[in-house]
Amino acid sequence: MVESNPSQSDILLCQIDEVAEMQAIEMDIGHNKLFAIRQDNRMHAYWNHCPHLGIPLNWMPEKFLDLDGSLIQCSSHGALFQIDSGECIAGPCVGDHLKPVELRVDGTKVYVVADQPMPQAPVNLRAQALADLEDS
Ligand code: FES
Where are the chain's structural domains?
2-135
Average pLDDT of every residue of the chain: 93
Task: Give the model's confidence band at 3: pLDDT under 50 very low, under 70 low, under 90 confident, else very high.
Answer: confident
2-135 maps to which CATH number? 2.102.10.10
pLDDT value for 10? 94
80 lines ligand 1 (CB under 6 A): no
pTM of the model: 0.88
Task: Give the model's confidence band at 57: pLDDT under 50 very low, under 70 low, under 90 confident, else very high.
Answer: very high
Could you tell me how far CA 13 lies from the centroid of its own chain? 12
Distance separating alpha carbons of residues 30 and 53, to the nearest angstrom: 20
Residue nearest atom 3 of ligand 1, based on CA coordinates:
77
- Locate the ligand 1 atom nearest the alpha carbon of residue 57 and give its number: 2
Strand order in the sheet with 24-29: 24-29, 32-39, 42-47
* Span from the CA of 5 to the centroid of ligand 1 (angstroms): 36
pLDDT value for 66? 97
71 lines ligand 1 (CB under 6 A): no
